[in-house]
């Protein structure tokens, strides 16, 4: 499927193709990235995202530099603290401090300079051009780490106006405090996408991705600071206790059972018919979103979703 998705993304003019590192849910991301890099001509190819726990930082640096050569300068390395990429392997996630240090280490290596992390030194002298390094973040400490160190941020916090304002302000503050220029850090809002001719089909399927995203976007602590209305906090905590990082039909039923579909789909998804997806994407744009990274891995028909959104929504969204 990766070849079909990459082909459609390039054909319809998407700016970036994101490939997740999620063992148990998808094939190896570096194999997928290499296939996408060879097949496409225009879209950037991003690891969206890997982590520093199950993947050694220096090895990931060499891997993204290799993808950059294959793609002729279109590779982006996305790093996150870890969700399904670590949890599905029984591992813990990185702290925000570890995330920032790892990104700094990787960026140094990608400049072709020696770098040291945890008393281990590495060097990639064959790298001639640095790839961009992004951080995926939801929580304040990781958002701040991204603003201090990364070339871009995949913001996992929601598409509502308050969500976008809160998350981007945290990143912007860290950028300023680090003495960096705001224009040097790209910000991408992440959401689930399911676009279908039959909007009910899209809405029925998107629940699995909503549970998955809510598991780390909203988490299980300080829900008031995560922008969650009071009457939904206990149902969301119950969702967090019961959802799976290997999403499936049980998660779809769980989101409905707990009465969370309307809230989560409004915050974390663009779904429905092409016209409904356009309206939702335009609302996110009006709320302050400048770039959207849309995950289609659990869509009712991922390839058709990319086609329909690319044909009917992207041109009007850009216009």
pLDDT tens per residue across span 123-145: 999 999 999 999 999 999 999 99
Asked if 13 contacts 45 with a C-beta cutoff of 8 angstroms, the reply is: no
Give the pairing of strands 115-117 and 120-122: antiparallel
Maximal CA-CA distance, the chain: 55
The predicted model gives 96-106 an average pLDDT of 97
Radius of gyration of the chain (CA): 19
**Mean per-residue pLDDT for 275-295?**
97
As given in the structure block, the two tokens for residue 301 are 């028909």
Q: Does residue 46 contact residue 134 with C-beta atoms inside 8 Å?
A: yes
Reported confidence tier of residue 85, pLDDT bands at 50, 70, 90: low
Assign 195 a pLDDT band (cuts: 50, 70, 90). very high
Range of weakest confidence among 81-95, 148-162, 212-226, 227-241: 81-95
The span from the CA of 48 to the CA of 65, in Å, is 15
């Amino acid at each position: 499927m990766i070849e079909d998705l990459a082909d459609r993304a390039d054909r319809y003019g998407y700016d970036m193709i994101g490939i997740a590192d999620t063992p148990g849910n998808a094939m190896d991301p570096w194999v997928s990235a290499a296939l996408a890099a060879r097949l496409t001509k225009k879209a950037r190819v991003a690891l969206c995202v890997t982590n520093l726990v199950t993947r050694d930082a220096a090895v990931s640096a060499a891997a993204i530099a290799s993808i950059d050569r294959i793609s002729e300068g279109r590779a982006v390395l996305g790093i996150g603290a870890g969700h399904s990429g670590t949890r599905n392997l029984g591992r813990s996630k990185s702290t925000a401090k570890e995330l920032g240090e790892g990104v700094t280490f990787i960026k140094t290596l990608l400049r072709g300079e020696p770098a040291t992390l945890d008393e281990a030194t590495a060097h990639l002298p064959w790298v001639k051009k640095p790839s961009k390094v992004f951080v995926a973040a939801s929580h304040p400490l990781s958002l701040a780490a991204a603003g201090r160190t990364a070339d871009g941020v995949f913001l996992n916090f929601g598409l509502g106006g308050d969500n976008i304002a809160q998350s981007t302000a945290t990143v912007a503050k860290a950028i300023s405090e680090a003495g960096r220029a705001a224009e040097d850090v790209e910000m991408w809002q992440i959401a689930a996408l399911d676009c279908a001719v039959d909007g009910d089909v899209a809405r029925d399927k998107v629940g699995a991705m909503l549970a998955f995203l809510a598991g780390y976007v909203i988490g299980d602590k300080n829900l008031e600071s995560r922008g969650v209305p009071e009457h939904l906090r206990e149902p969301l905590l119950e969702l967090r206790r019961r959802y799976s990082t290997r999403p499936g039909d049980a998660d779809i039923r769980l989101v409905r059972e707990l009465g969370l579909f309307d809230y989560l789909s409004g915050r974390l998804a663009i779904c429905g018919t092409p016209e409904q997806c356009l309206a939702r994407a335009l609302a996110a744009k009006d709320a302050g979103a400048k770039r959207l990274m849309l995950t289609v891995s659990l869509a009712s028909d991922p390839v058709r979703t990319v086609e329909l959104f690319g044909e009917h929504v992207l041109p009007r969204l850009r216009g």
